[in-house]
C-alpha cells in the first residue's frame, strides 16, 4: 500500500464497465487479431475518492536504481509522490534535478502479471525539458521487453519516438542488435496529446500513433507473459542524457488494454469460457475494436460475429484458442 498516494489522489478511476457485453472477446479490426479480455483505466477530474480501485489495478514503484561510476550514471529513485492527479489526468513526474542526489522519478506497474499478447493503448502527453525518458511497455525480464519510448533530448521539434524489442544491444560488439530498435518520426510532437499503441502477437510487435501504423518489428518478440509498465526517468546516461533541471511530466488520459492471459491464450480460462458460453447468441457478446485514437468497443457486425463465435466456441469446447488472424 502507498499511503502518500492515497492522500494525494482523490480522483475517479473508471475501469472497464462491469456490464455483460463482449463476454466472447474483442476483434481488433485494423489487424484482425483477437483478444479475450479488456482492462480500461480512464482518469478523470477529481470528484470521487476511489484510490482503492487504482491500487487494485496499478502499483506505483518505490525503489532505487543505483548509479554506475564507470558509466557515469547517477542514481534514480521512483517515488509514489510522483504519481498524482493533474488537470490532464493521471500524472507521472520526474522532478527537476539540481545535480545532487538521486533523480526523483516515477514508475507504474500493472498488478496483473500474466498479459500474453494484446493491443495496449495509452493516450497522453509529455511536458517539460530535455533530459527524461517516458516509457510505455510490456515486460517479462530484460531480455523480453517491448518498448515505446519518448526521449526528450531528441532534436527536431519533439517528433521522434523509439520502438524497441529487447535485447537491442550486444555488449560483446558494443553495437545495436539489427532490426530490434527503430527511431521513427511522429505525426505531431510528443507535447501534444496523442495515443500510443503497442500490438503484441506471437510473430510481431506493431507500433501505432493515433491509429496509424508506424513500425512492425519481428526481431526478439517477447514470448512470456508479463506486466504492462509506464515510467518517466533519467540517470545522466547516454540514453536519457543529463537529467532535466525542471520538472518533466507524463499526463495520461487513459490506458486501454485488450489482451489474452497466459490461461485464456491456451483456452484454459474457465471463468472466461463459462461467461462466453452463457452469452452465446447475444449480439453484443463479441465486439470489434477500431483503430481510432480513442478506442471504444462496438458490437460486431453479423458476419464478423459469426467468425468470432466460431473461434470462441472452439476454445470453450476444449480444442484450445490459437490467437492470431482470421484466415
pLDDT of residue 8: 44
Q: What is the pLDDT of residues 78-95, one digit of tens each?
A: 999 999 977 768 999 999
Taking the C-alpha atoms of residue 99 and residue 101, their distance in angstroms, rounded to an integer, is 7
| Whole-structure pTM value | 0.86
pLDDT of residue 4 exceeding 90, the answer is no
User: If you search the block for the grid coordinates 513500425, which residue do you land on?
Assistant: 215
Q: What is the mean pLDDT of residues 148-156?
A: 93
Q: Confirm if 181 and 162 have CB atoms less than 8 A apart.
A: yes
pLDDT recorded at residue 46: 46
Largest CA distance in the chain: 63
CA pair distance 206, 121, nearest whole angstrom: 12
Calpha distance 7→13 (Å, rounded) = 15
Counting Cα atoms < 13 Å in the Cβ hemisphere of 227 gives 15
Tell me, what's the pLDDT at 52?
61
pLDDT 10s digits, 118-141: 999 999 999 999 999 999 999 999
**Which domains occur in the chain, in start order?**
3-22+37-261 (2.60.120.200)
pLDDT at residue number 87: 73
Among 126-135, 161-170, 214-223, 314-323, the range scoring the smallest mean pLDDT is 314-323
Higher pLDDT: 48 or 123? It is 123
Q: What is the mean pLDDT of the chain?
A: 84
Place 20 in a pLDDT band, splitting at 50, 70 and 90: low
Residue 55 to residues 48, 106, 108, 227, Cα–Cα distance (Å):
15, 15, 10, 15
Asked if pLDDT for residue 256 goes beyond 60, the answer is: yes
Burial code (b: 16+ CB inside 10 Å, e: under 16) for 268-301 equals: ebeebbebbbebeebebbbbbbebebebebebbe
Distance of CA 90 to the CA centre of its chain: 14
Amino acid at each position: 500500500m502507498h499511503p502518500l498516494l492515497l492522500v494525494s489522489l482523490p480522483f475517479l478511476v473508471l475501469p472497464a464497465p462491469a456490464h455483460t457485453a463482449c463476454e466472447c472477446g474483442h476483434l481488433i479490426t485494423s489487424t484482425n487479431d483477437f483478444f479475450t479480455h479488456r482492462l480500461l483505466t480512464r482518469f478523470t477530474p477529481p470528484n470521487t475518492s476511489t484510490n482503492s480501485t487504482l491500487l487494485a489495478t496499478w502499483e506505483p514503484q518505490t525503489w532505487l536504481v543505483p548509479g554506475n561510476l564507470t558509466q557515469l550514471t547517477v542514481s534514480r529513485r521512483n517515488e509514489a509522490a510522483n504519481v498524482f492527479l493533474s488537470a490532464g489526468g493521471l500524472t507521472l513526474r520526474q522532478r527537476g534535478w539540481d545535480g545532487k542526489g538521486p533523480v526523483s522519478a516515477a514508475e507504474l506497474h500493472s498488478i496483473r502479471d500474466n498479459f500474453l499478447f494484446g493491443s495496449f493503448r495509452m493516450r497522453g502527453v509529455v511536458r517539460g525539458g530535455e533530459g527524461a525518458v517516458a516509457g510505455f511497455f510490456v515486460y517479462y525480464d530484460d531480455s523480453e521487453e517491448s518498448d515505446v519510448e519518448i526521449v526528450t533530448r531528441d532534436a527536431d521539434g519533439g517528433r521522434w519516438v523509439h520502438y524497441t524489442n529487447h535485447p537491442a544491444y550486444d555488449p560483446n560488439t558494443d553495437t545495436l542488435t539489427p532490426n530490434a530498435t527503430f527511431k521513427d518520426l511522429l505525426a505531431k510532437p510528443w507535447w501534444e496529446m496523442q495515443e500510443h499503441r503497442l500490438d503484441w502477437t506471437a510473430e510481431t510487435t506493431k507500433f501505432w500513433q493515433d491509429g496509424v501504423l508506424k513500425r512492425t518489428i519481428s526481431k526478439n518478440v517477447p514470448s512470456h507473459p508479463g506486466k504492462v509498465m509506464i515510467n518517466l526517468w533519467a540517470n545522466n546516461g547516454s540514453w536519457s542524457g543529463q537529467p532535466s533541471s525542471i520538472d518533466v511530466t507524463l499526463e495520461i488520459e487513459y490506458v486501454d488494454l485488450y489482451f489474452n492471459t497466459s490461461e485464456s491464450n491456451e483456452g484454459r480460462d474457465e471463468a472466461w469460457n463459462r461467461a462466453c458460453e452463457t452469452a452465446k447468441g447475444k449480439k453484443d457478446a463479441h465486439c470489434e475494436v477500431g483503430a481510432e485514437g480513442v478506442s471504444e468497443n462496438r458490437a460486431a457486425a453479423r458476419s464478423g460475429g459469426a467468425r468470432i463465435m466460431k473461434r470462441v466456441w472452439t476454445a470453450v469446447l476444449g480444442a484450445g484458442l490459437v490467437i492470431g488472424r482470421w484466415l
